[in-house]
Amino acid sequence: MNMRVNPQLLKVQATFLLTLCSILPFNACKKETTPEQIAAVPALRVDPDDAYRVAFAKTLAKAVQAEPALRNFIKAEATKQFDRDYDILFQAVKDTRIDGHTIREILAEYADDPEAFETACEKLPLLTIFMPALPNGFSADNWNTGTDIPLVALKQQANADMSFYDGKGNEQKVPVKYIPGFPVLVVKTNERVVVNDAPNYFADPQARQQAASYYRNSNYSFSFADEAFDGVHKKSPADAGRVTLAVDPINLQAYSSGAEWQRDFVYYGIKPGVDTGKFTNRYSEFITSFKFLKPEHYNLVSDHANDPTTTLGLHGRDEPVWTDGNLEIRISIFVNSKNAVGQELKKAFTVRGEELFHAEKYDIILFGTVQFYIIQSVTPVEYHPNIEILPWDLEIYGNVWKFVVSEFDPSEEVTRTVTHTTTYSNNFEINVNTGEKVKIGGKFGASQTTTHTETYTSKTTLGSEELFEGVLDFRSPVITGLTTITLPGAIPIVIPAYNTYEVTTGIVSFSVEPIRIY
């Protein structure tokens, strides 16, 4: 059950919460102890390109120490978030000039192995510099480039540890479960961009045919793996003005109308005393909230070598967990459309790990003389993606939609089979006076219904974490009840709030609500 707040008091609530957050202490327990011995791990498969990534990482570490202008450039580019994360695609910036020299030329001056560095520049099209947000407050947004000299981190596929390189070319290997307590840049492979006309399991096949490519040079052209990652051409949900903590007024009206099916009121105006209505497409269904159900579900999105989660202090895994930025949540919606049988709608959104799980407590570990963090407990928090699906015409799309949710990770592409059954309402007819099709009666009316089962073939990847399936029925309410919340303070504030219906997969829950679109 999801709770929504009365919009008239949002400003008061927001001011209070900001004040509250500013006075809450940082909950961390410091353990100034040397880390435990790490057990031996099985040998991992060698990636031949890692040698070139190492050469690039060492070169970058030396260059960022010596070149203040380069540090300023990296900060400025990372904060652009071209792929909705703090990434810099090297191919897209290598020919940019600062102080009369290209980025590539500046870096090349510091390469110990020029041949390996040049190979990395030419043969690794998705080579990326990433700026993580760390528990000590270091991030792209608040990096003091004048005083903070970052190390460069790289996870090699055949290496169980994380490698850190300093400005002298020295390498320090550290267990990947430790989160740095110092400035750091990460060298990685970008998962949000695809190379056009090249095999790539990161993306839906349509991605490589996008009309608006991200970047093109003489060797490569790139598009976004999903429009959810396009920070160049697409507006964010916040920019589009759809982020709200309150339900759309039409849903309050539907709840108060006494209509047995609230969506009958929203889309057809049907309620007690009004039994005929024309469909309106002024409203569309939106995924308005998303939340993991239990703290232990954190385990599900921190078990891949490239996930942005933080540690294994909580779960005992020994994998990199802070190096790869935002999570990618993908939702396939199966609607069994009459006018497009077998229709699968693919939606995705990108979200920071801390926007889904709040770290309640850190331990602080000294590895040698350097400080690292380990998360010890987390709490799931609600995120508001506000993703539009489509207007729900009961005649065309039937009464049940199926949602298949996953957290995307790159690996070998596989095909899954999904079976979905829905019921079409037949209580529609043409109004002889207006010539318009109208719905006769609430719910399914007195007419017979038609049931249809469709089997879908859908693609995913072996590395993606399946978060299972949930279904939403047209008959499900949007608002399930009215309640209040009390904001503590010298004078407590009581705010009217609304409980909304949630779809659940057993791992995650999310609200789907009609919202006016024009």
Q: What is the pLDDT of residue 168?
A: 92
- Can you say how many angstroms the Cα of residue 496 is from the centroid of all Cα atoms in its chain? 30
Q: What is the pLDDT of residue 415?
A: 54
Q: Where are the domains of the chain?
A: 34-190, 240-516
Q: What is the pLDDT of residue 76?
A: 96
Statement: residue 413 has pLDDT above 80: no
Q: What is the pLDDT of residue 452?
A: 59
Statement: residue 207 has pLDDT above 60: no
CA torsion 267-270-276-279 (nearest 10°) is 0
Q: What is the pLDDT of residue 194?
A: 85
Q: Are strands 357-367 and 28-31 parallel, antiparallel or unpaired?
A: parallel
- Residue percentage of the chain with pLDDT more than 70: 72
- Residue percentage of the chain with pLDDT more than 90: 39
Q: For the segment 369-402, what is each residue's pLDDT rounded down to a tens digit? A: 778 888 778 889 899 999 999 999 998 888 999 9
The pLDDT confidence band at residue 429, using thresholds 50, 70 and 90, is: confident
Q: What is the pLDDT of residue 456?
A: 52
Give the relative orientation of helices 50-66 and 68-78 as an angle to the nearest 10 degrees: 120
Q: For the segment 305-329, what is each residue's pLDDT rounded down to a tens digit? A: 344 434 333 333 333 356 767 888 8
> Amino acid identity of 44?
L
- Can you say how many angstroms the Cα of residue 87 is from the centroid of all Cα atoms in its chain? 15
The pLDDT confidence band at residue 179, using thresholds 50, 70 and 90, is: confident
**498: phi then psi, degrees, rounded to nearest 5:** -130, 135
The pLDDT confidence band at residue 264, using thresholds 50, 70 and 90, is: very high
As a whole number of angstroms, the distance between CA 182 and CA 371 comes to: 7
As a whole number of angstroms, the distance between CA 398 and CA 335 comes to: 7
Mean pLDDT, all residues of the chain = 78
**Taking residues 44-57, what's their average pLDDT?**
88
Contact yes or no for 270/258 (Cβ under 8 A): no
Q: For the segment 74-85, what is each residue's pLDDT rounded down to a tens digit? A: 999 999 999 989
The pLDDT confidence band at residue 182, using thresholds 50, 70 and 90, is: very high
Statement: residue 61 has pLDDT above 90: yes
Statement: residue 26 has pLDDT above 80: no
Q: For the segment 96-123, what is each residue's pLDDT rounded down to a tens digit? A: 999 999 999 999 999 999 999 999 999 9
**HEC secondary structure over 187-255:** EEECCCEEECCCCCCCCCHHHHHCCCCCEECCCCEEEECCHHHCCCCCCCCCCCCCCCCCCCHHHHHHH
Q: Residues 142, 306, 377, CA angle at the centre, nearest 5°?
A: 70
Which has the higher per-residue pLDDT, 444 or 173?
173
Task: Tell which residue, 154, 59, 50, 166, has the closest CA to residue 105.
Answer: 59
The pLDDT confidence band at residue 445, using thresholds 50, 70 and 90, is: low
